[in-house]
Amino acid sequence: MKRLFWLAIAIALLFAGNLVNNNLKDYWQDVIQQCGIAVILAVSLNIVNGLTGQFAIGHAGFMAVGAYTGASITYFAAAKFAHVGIPGPAWMLVAMVAGGLLAAIFGYIVGVPSLRLRGDYLAIVTLGFGEIIKVMLENTHDISPALDYMGGATGFQNVPSLSKFPLLWGMAVLLIILVRNLKFSSHGLAFMSVREDEIAADAMGVHTTRIKVSAFVLSAFFAGVGGVLYAHAKLIKPDVFGFTLSMSYVVMIVLGGTGSITGATMAAIVLTALPEALKPVRDKIHFTDEYLQVIYALILVLMMILRPAGVFGTGELSFAWLRRRFGRPKNSAIETGEAPPEFTHTAGERKPLEPGEPLVLDTVHLTRRFGGLTAVGDVNLQLQRGELVGLIGPNGAGKTTLFNLLTGVYEPSEGTLAFCGSPLAGERPLPPNRRWLRLTGDVLLAAFGGWIIGIILSTSVVPFIDPNKPESLHLQLGIKWAVTILITLWAIVLAPRRRRYLAGYKPYQFAQRGISRTFQNIRLFGELTVLENVRIGTYLRRRTNLFDALFQTGRLKREEAENIAKARELLSRFNLLKVENEQAKNLPYGDQRRLEIVRALATGPRLLLLDEPAAGMNPQEKVSLMGLIREVRDDFGLTILLIEHDMKLVMGICERIYVLDYGRIIAEGTPGEIRNNPKVIAAYLGEEETEEIVQPEMPSPPIRTQLQPE
Amino acid sequence: MLTITNLSVYYGAIRALDGISLEVKEGEIVTMIGANGAGKSTTIRTISGLVRPRSGEVMFEGKPLHTLPPHQIVTLGIGQSPEGRRVFANMTVRENLELGAFTRSKHKVQVREDMERVFVQFPRLKEREAQSAGTLSGGEQQMLAIGRALMARPRLLLLDEPSLGLAPFLVQNIFKIIREINQQGVTVLLVEQNANQALRIANRGYVLETGRVVLADTAPNLLKDDSVRKAYLGE
């Protein structure tokens, strides 16, 4: 109902705008059109550069792909189907879908190889892509004479002017709404988690490569649509879609605030319209466009110094913000959500151990070497469901490395790791469909490469042969095809043996299967709020997809409500609900540690790995944390392995302890056995350890776990 | 030596310090204890210039610190081992230590002597001398952060949770080292969750609660104080 109301308002506004627009001078109609296109391009680029934190600088390339595709469709449609009477706007829709899709396909091809890697590869690749598209469009005749209608460097003539105000601005508004929907859903949070901390995002079960590629493809799609609209508004020439245009969109989002939709929108409008609005003044003082470039550069430099996050940062101009800023708050419950729900035991599945139940964690000879250094060597670790086990050892003994092995950050050099009875570490063959896809791709690539090499070789013999004899032509052809075929055959034989055809389990897959962790040097998503951090944890167990997020479907709303309730329930349990809307980076150290535990719990783990959970807490806080860890273990039916240097805590809550020194387990046993083990005292506890160990008054767990006989 | 009066610090809208005043005299070990979020780290960060106060002042030997940028504060003789280590991950252990002595890199011989001393105090660092700091374990990075702070030969050393992430016998060691450093003439302002140990080596202590000083006394008195024992010593 509410949605219909807003839709009606939007349509009314569009028509009112159209009415006003039609009565303006042509010049201003043109400016308004340009603003709309800039908004579409800037907002779509912001999906990649702002939300996901990547750096793409070839947006005009995708725009060009869309523009030429769309223009081709309407160009031919107008000629061939004029008599059938299908109206232009209908073809425009087809053109937009086709232009968007083709741009998206290009986005996928460009994105997949460059987004696997972290760093600036994307910037370089997109920059190159933009230039390649431009050059290709300039030389359409050389590619194929059939493309001559595109006009090469002179531009694509006779494209019908179909980018009317309602369509153009309707698309712009639609895009803004879609991206807004995405940004505030947990899918959007997953995008932002990649921006904040890729390693932590991975550990929370976010498939970072897939997220980055999705963002990039989505962004390319909308750039393509924007290109189609541009093509039906102005003459399209290849040199329009150059580096300058790409950069102008980057400038818009940098000024507006990378990550802010309203910021990008406003910057797009201001930077497009302002120079035009000032035209009468500029003409008087002979202030040409060249000077304008200087002004832009200056503004950008000033922005970087004074407000590097852009005018809006990642925030949004919203009704809620306006209310906070200028009026009395409507109702705080709307902003903070409803009262926290009563805690219910969501996963109270603590069943008694069955005989023959597989171990939760079982490692055999687990080893990891770095160069010549064995960081973890020959570790055999067995955890039964429901156990709370400690891992102690001197600094540098390999405890954190072991955690990284157990969560897929490192692959073991040797040994195996089984989780709940199924192997997790080590390499396995790719699933057959992906294997075939990869094989086909590799063979095609080899054939193409072979063909090129063949051409080069066959031309290099030219100086040595007599061009007038027919045999020499045969020789050339023979060399070319022989080389092509040989290289292709070589690829077919060799490809399946390559490492590419094997896959290791990635950290996000460990998380999906139920291993979650906290980090020794806290890795929260600092810019995001406490609640958002926990919601990213719940993202892993989602049942909705990206399209649900874009279009705010009913099931997405239900799921978000559930997830938020679950997140707040967990937060209230760890006494963090009162700071749910603070940025995570502003919490004190100890609270950040507890937030990491909450975030890990939100992924719904079966095994929880805690890396120094009590570091930075005072004794009193440690005691309450100990209680919480136990409680959580019991209520959620978890198995917990924890690294901690506070012996009071470790000895107080752990039922069993492993001691690691120089990468090897030197002792294993109950706290009492460990405390008196001379090896452990020598390597770790120190002789002066005099502090008495206080057994806190905690209810003993309902089920005593029995150690399996070794 | 160091006088803080009426210091208030905000992070955005959140008030971290609510008008605290404290004093560190030459040659002392002074410790701040308090719960998480009480404002201990913020105080340290304000002294070293990483955070700007909204009001109040920080005076070091009569000179105001709250208007100086961090790199000038270091040259006045204030060294810091920040919470969360922050070592230069892509440099070797040795380079990290050399950078610690950056402000007096002219005195080559002295710097070398100081480095040897750090290696004696933390033999583990000597073992890893040529390794890049990012490959060290968390506890080793902690040692490096402290060693790096010492390399500047500060007259006032700010230590934020030096025992964080260290194995038990190293924790005992670290407190011994702090006392040694102090006996060599370095004044120390120490933030520690391990309040028990901190108060044993300190001369005086301040108890912070939600950005205010609620108790200030000599360390032995604080160790005896019932409310302190209950709240911060875990008894």
From residue A304, alpha-carbon distances to A110, A255, A297, A336, B70 in Å are 29, 9, 11, 33, 21
Element (H, E) at A223: helix A208-231
Chain A residue closest to B230 (CA)? Answer: A620
Chain A residue closest to B137 (CA)? Answer: A396
DSSP assignment of A277-339 = HTHHHHHHTT--HHHHHHHHHHHHHHHHHH-TT-SSTT----HHHHHHHHS--S-HHHHH-SP
Residue-level pLDDT at B86: 78
Q: At what angle do helices A186-196 and A530-539 cross, to 10 degrees?
A: 110
Residue B195 contacts residue B40 (beta carbons within 8 Å) = no
Closest CA to A70 of A173, A214, A195, A167: A167
What does the buried/exposed string (b/e) look like for A356-365 if buried means 16 or more CB atoms within 10 Å of the residue's CB?
eeebbbbbee
**Residues in A touching B171 (Cβ below 8 Å):** 645
**Residues in B touching A582 (Cβ below 8 Å):** 14
Interval B51-98: pLDDT, tens = 888 888 899 988 888 888 888 888 888 888 776 667 888 888 888 888
Residue-level pLDDT at A194: 92
Q: Give the span between the Cα atoms of A676 and A585, in whole angstroms.
A: 41
> Is the Cβ of A616 closer than 8 Å to some Cβ of chain B?
yes
Residue B217 contacts residue B43 (beta carbons within 8 Å) = no
The beta-carbon neighbor of A686 closest among B128, B135, B168 is B168
**β-strands B204-209, B212-218: how paired?**
antiparallel
If phi over 0 gives left and psi between -120 and 50 gives alpha, with beta otherwise, what is residue B15?
beta
Residue-level pLDDT at A460: 78
> Is the Cβ of A343 closer than 8 Å to some Cβ of chain B?
no
> Is the Cβ of A621 closer than 8 Å to some Cβ of chain B?
yes
> Is the Cβ of A399 closer than 8 Å to some Cβ of chain B?
yes
Q: In this complex, do A395 and B167 lie within 8 Å of one another by their Cβ atoms?
A: yes
> How crowded is residue B13: how many other Cβ atoms within 10 Å of its Cβ?
7
pLDDT value at A710 more than 70: no
Q: Give the span between the Cα atoms of A597 and A576, in whole angstroms.
A: 11
Residue-level pLDDT at A60: 94
Q: How many CA atoms lie within 13 A of B53 on its CB side?
A: 27
Element (H, E) at A369: strand A361-370
End-to-end CA distance of chain B: 34
Q: What is the DSSP letter of A709?
A: P
- Confidence class for position B29, pLDDT limits 50, 70, 90: very high
**Residues in B touching A590 (Cβ below 8 Å):** 35-37
| Percentage of the residues of chain A whose pLDDT score is greater than 90 | 31
Q: What is the DSSP letter of A464?
A: G
**Residues in B touching A618 (Cβ below 8 Å):** 33-36, 193, 195, 232, 234
Q: Give the span between the Cα atoms of A199 and A210, in whole angstroms.
A: 14
**Residues in A touching B33 (Cβ below 8 Å):** 618
Residue-level pLDDT at A705: 39
| Total-model pTM | 0.80
pLDDT value at A131 more than 70: yes
Residue A388 contacts residue A655 (beta carbons within 8 Å) = yes
pLDDT value at A340 more than 70: no
Nearest-CA distance from B86 to chain A in Å? 10
pLDDT value at A163 more than 80: yes
- Confidence class for position A334, pLDDT limits 50, 70, 90: very low
If phi over 0 gives left and psi between -120 and 50 gives alpha, with beta otherwise, what is residue A690?
alpha
The beta-carbon neighbor of B168 closest among A586, A591, A647 is A647
**Residues in A touching B37 (Cβ below 8 Å):** 587-588, 590-591
The first and second tokens of residue A62, run together, are: 């995708």
Element (H, E) at B215: strand B212-218
Q: Give the span between the Cα atoms of A32 and A693, in whole angstroms.
A: 74
Residue-level pLDDT at B187: 93
Span B7-19, average pLDDT:
83
Residue B99 contacts residue B149 (beta carbons within 8 Å) = no
Comparing A2-16, A189-203, A328-342, B3-17, the range with the smallest average pLDDT is A328-342
**Residues in A touching B193 (Cβ below 8 Å):** 616-619
Comparing A214-218, A289-293, A590-594, A699-703, the range with the smallest average pLDDT is A699-703
> Is the Cβ of B209 closer than 8 Å to some Cβ of chain A?
no
Interval A275-330: pLDDT, tens = 888 877 877 887 777 777 787 788 888 888 887 777 777 777 766 666 665 554 44
**Residues in B touching A524 (Cβ below 8 Å):** none
Residue-level pLDDT at A453: 86
**Residues in A touching B85 (Cβ below 8 Å):** 521
* Strands in A466-535 per DSSP E: 502-504, 515-517
- Confidence class for position B193, pLDDT limits 50, 70, 90: confident
Interval A226-254: pLDDT, tens = 999 999 998 899 988 988 889 889 988 88
The first and second tokens of residue A185, run together, are: 């859903």
Nearest-CA distance from A621 to chain B in Å? 8
Interval A74-127: pLDDT, tens = 888 766 766 666 666 788 888 999 999 999 999 998 888 788 776 678 888 898
Chain A residue closest to B171 (CA)? Answer: A645
Task: Name the more confident of A291 and A634.
Answer: A634
The beta-carbon neighbor of A396 closest among B83, B140, B234 is B140
At residue A142, what is the residue type?
D
pLDDT value at A693 more than 50: no
From residue A294, alpha-carbon distances to A298, A303, A633, B188 in Å are 6, 14, 62, 52
Q: In this complex, do B164 and A396 lie within 8 Å of one another by their Cβ atoms?
A: no
Cβ-based contacts under 8 A for chains A and B: 109
- Confidence class for position A601, pLDDT limits 50, 70, 90: very high
**Residues in A touching B233 (Cβ below 8 Å):** 619
From residue A257, alpha-carbon distances to A43, A46, A51, A166 in Å are 11, 9, 11, 27
Span A355-368, average pLDDT:
86
pLDDT value at A418 more than 50: yes
From residue A259, alpha-carbon distances to A441, A529, B74, B123 in Å are 35, 15, 36, 47
Residue-level pLDDT at A327: 53
Residue-level pLDDT at A426: 67
Interval B137-167: pLDDT, tens = 878 888 888 888 888 888 899 998 888 888 8
ipTM value: 0.73
- Confidence class for position A687, pLDDT limits 50, 70, 90: low
Q: At what angle do helices B138-151 and B108-121 cross, to 10 degrees?
A: 150
The per-residue pLDDT of chain A, averaged, comes to 83
Q: What is the DSSP letter of A364?
A: E
Nearest-CA distance from B141 to chain A in Å? 9
pLDDT value at A172 more than 90: yes
Comparing A42-56, A157-171, A695-709, the range with the smallest average pLDDT is A695-709
Nearest-CA distance from B106 to chain A in Å? 33
DSSP assignment of A105-117 = HHHHHHHHHHHSS
The first and second tokens of residue A626, run together, are: 């100990």
pLDDT value at A656 more than 80: yes
From residue A262, alpha-carbon distances to A173, A180, A227, A255, A298 in Å are 11, 9, 21, 11, 23
Residue-level pLDDT at A71: 92
The answer for residues whose C-beta is within 8 angstroms of residue A359's C-beta and 6 or more apart is A382, A383, A384, A385, A418, A420, A421, A708
Q: In this complex, do B14 and A370 lie within 8 Å of one another by their Cβ atoms?
A: no
**Residues in A touching B195 (Cβ below 8 Å):** 618-619
pLDDT value at B233 more than 60: yes
Question: Would you mind telling me the total number of residues written for chain B in this entry?
Answer: 235
Chain A residue closest to B86 (CA)? Answer: A521
Q: In this complex, do B168 and A522 lie within 8 Å of one another by their Cβ atoms?
A: no
Q: Give the span between the Cα atoms of B88 and B105, in whole angstroms.
A: 18
> Is the Cβ of A689 closer than 8 Å to some Cβ of chain B?
yes
Residue A229 contacts residue A67 (beta carbons within 8 Å) = no
Nearest-CA distance from A659 to chain B in Å? 12
pLDDT value at B40 more than 80: yes
Element (H, E) at B24: strand B14-24
Residue-level pLDDT at A708: 40
Span A398-409, average pLDDT:
91
Interval A373-387: pLDDT, tens = 888 989 999 999 889
Chain B residue closest to A681 (CA)? Answer: B169
**β-strands B29-34, B187-191: how paired?**
parallel
Interval A487-518: pLDDT, tens = 888 888 877 766 666 667 888 989 998 999 99
At residue A180, what is the residue type?
R
Q: Which of B33, B192, B193, B209 to mutate to test the interface with A (most CBs of A within 10 A)?
A: B193
